[in-house]
């Protein structure tokens, strides 16, 4: 397994995000109504296994001090192997390297595995922010990044 940086225009990123969106529509029964496209200003990391990208996530700057975790997704066949946790740690490191002291993220109330991952990784619930305000299915979290001693 390898975690590497990829440009937002990478076709494997597009395929992973499309698969994520399809799965989210099935999970929320079409209630959430959010559609997401890739953004050029997101710094993406992918997990490569069996010579293909099997998971992705990104960091997008909200401001100079705060980054947002975006598009976390692991293909179903690769779940249960700890890839999401390793990817999240790598994304936190990327955010720290980019000068962010905090990372935030949004997930859905209907995604218990994601909620469990984030809370067990030290994320604390925060009020819904930005584009997620008004979405009754959004849950937001934040984590302060530790400064090395």
Which residues, including other chains, have CB under 8 Å from residue 16's CB and lie 6 or more apart? 46, 53, 55, 56, 71, 73, 75
pLDDT at 37: 45
- For residues 24 and 72, the answer to whether their CB atoms sit within 8 Å is no
- How many domains, in total, are found in the chain? 1
Residue 140 lies in a domain: yes
Per-residue pLDDT 10s for the chain (149 aa) are 899 999 999 999 999 999 998 988 887 666 555 555 445 689 999 999 989 999 999 999 999 999 999 999 999 999 999 999 999 999 999 999 999 999 999 999 999 999 999 999 999 999 999 989 999 999 999 999 976 54
- Tokens 């993220």, residue? 105
pTM, full prediction = 0.90
Task: For residue 129, give its domain range.
Answer: 2-144
pLDDT at 148: 56
Closest CA to 108 of 24, 17, 22: 24
| Positive or negative: CA dihedral 85, 89, 55, 113 | positive
Give me the CATH number covering residue 62: 3.40.630.30
Residue 125 lies in a domain: yes
Residue 8 lies in a domain: yes
pLDDT at 83: 97
Residue 72 lies in a domain: yes
pLDDT at 38: 47
Residue 149 lies in a domain: no
Q: Which helix (H) or strand (E) holds 58?
A: strand 52-61
Please tell me the distance from the alpha carbon of residue 140 to that of residue 133, in angstroms, as a whole number.
10
Residue 114 lies in a domain: yes
**Residue 83 structure tokens:** 């890839």
pLDDT at 1: 85
């Amino acid at each position: 397994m390898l975690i590497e940086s990829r440009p937002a225009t990478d076709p494997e990123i597009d395929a992973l995000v499309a698969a994520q969106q399809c799965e989210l529509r099935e999970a929320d029964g079409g209630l959430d109504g959010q559609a997401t496209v890739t953004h050029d200003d997101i710094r993406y990391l992918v997990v490569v296994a069996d010579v293909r990208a099997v998971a992705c996530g990104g960091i997008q700057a909200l401001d100079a001090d705060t980054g947002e975790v975006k598009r976390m997704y692991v293909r179903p066949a690769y779940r249960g192997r700890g890839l999401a946790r390793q990817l999240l740690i790598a994304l936190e490191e990327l955010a720290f390297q980019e000068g962010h002291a905090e990372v935030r993220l949004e997930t859905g109330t209907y995604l218990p595995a994601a909620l469990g991952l984030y809370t067990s990784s030290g994320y604390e619930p925060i009020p819904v922010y930005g584009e997620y305000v008004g979405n009754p299915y959004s849950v937001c979290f934040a984590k302060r990044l530790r400064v090395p001693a």
